[in-house]
Amino acid sequence: MRWRKLCRFFKAAGQRPWMHSHSLLPFAEPIDGNLFRIWFTTRNENNRSHAGWLEMDITKPQDVLHIAEQPVLAPGAPGRFDHTGAGGTWLVRRGDERWLYYIGWSQHGPDPYHVAIGLAISRDGGKTYVRHGPDAVLDRNPSDPIMVSTPCVLGSDGNWRMWYFSATEWPEPSQPPYYNVRHATSADGIVWQTNPQVLIAAERPTEIAIARPCVIRDSDRWLMWYCHRGTDYLYRIGYAESPDGLSWTRRDALTGIDLSDSGWDSELMAYPFVFDHGGSRYMLYAGNGYGRDGMGLAILEQD
């Protein structure tokens, strides 16, 4: 597998009042032909996350056509699970509705932060999104004792599947938590049944985090891209394969994309989103500083 980097197509730098810095957690929504809406999470001047989008012709990614005037999701009401920030991570079209799964940040008690998974729904063709309810659709539970985040959601009525990161250990509040990838199922996309089985686990002695799974089902196998980091290195993009979406084999050596020698993605590459269009396979990802230096697009040249 070999990817060719096309460009850094966007860096948040005050284009909107709620877009002070960072462009992370990108994902693509097809609109019409080569027109795509690229969703991402950005931060305002108070470091609060907001979910928004830009539009581009995927064949001309360096030319941004339009940027949302207002955020699709802003921090929630005081005391809610998303009261300090909200960031989109995955979109599912369900009939005439669009279901936006997102992550909500909050701060309660001694922990520096808490993250859970929420849902917002559009019933007007994607013009506006309304939270499904005041609570998360997936939060800490017996299988996921600390927090959950970055969901990938596939399926339809009666057979929904979610891959997400689950934090399992937090040694010290001043240090980052440890997390891996797990799986949940649902009959309706709202009530989820979790499973303690770890799908993508640490392989290196220093590895502490595996996040933002992106799953695609090819004709003969399931494929997953994710990002991983350790105590001695920042995020890199990894890759795994599975016969059923549950039993995964890590094949990071086959990922086919790595840090640049210099520039905006020379220190860190994170939050991959892989999608197909027009016979090609593309990857969105965030660069240095967890998206502080922008987000880019790559195309698969050799499978």
Nearest Cα neighbor of 287 from 245, 237, 243 is 237
Mean pLDDT for the stretch of residues 6-24: 97
The β-bridge partners of 17 are none
| Whole-angstrom distance, CA of residue 300 vs CA of residue 291 | 22
The β-bridge partners of 238 are 226
Given this model, what pLDDT does residue 302 score?
80
Mean pLDDT for the stretch of residues 37-64: 97
Q: Give every CB contact of residue 166 below 8 A, 6+ residues apart in sequence.
A: 143, 144, 146, 147, 148, 179, 180, 181, 182
| pLDDT tens digit sequence for 59-71 | 999 999 999 999 9
Radius of gyration, alpha carbons of the chain? 18
| Terminal-residue alpha carbon distance, the chain | 4
Q: Are 178 and 208 in contact (CB under 8 A)?
A: yes
Tell me which residue has tokens 């020379």.
Answer: 266
Mean pLDDT for the stretch of residues 241-264: 97
Q: Are 179 and 200 in contact (CB under 8 A)?
A: no
Domain boundaries of the chain, sorted by first residue: 2-302
Query: Which letter, b or e, does each residue of 286-302 get, where b requires 16 or more Cβ atoms within 10 Å of its Cβ?
Result: bbbbbbbbbbbbbebee
| Whole-angstrom distance, CA of residue 274 vs CA of residue 289 | 21
pTM recorded for the entire structure = 0.96
| pLDDT tens digit sequence for 193-234 | 999 999 999 999 999 999 999 999 998 999 999 999 999 999
Mean pLDDT score across all residues of the chain: 96
Pick the CATH number of 2-302 from 3.40.640.10, 2.115.10.20, 3.40.50.1100, 2.40.10.120: 2.115.10.20
Does the pLDDT of residue 156 top 90, yes or no? Answer: no
| Whole-angstrom distance, CA of residue 37 vs CA of residue 29 | 5
Does the pLDDT of residue 255 top 90, yes or no? Answer: yes
User: Percentage of residues in the chain with pLDDT exceeding 70?
Assistant: 100
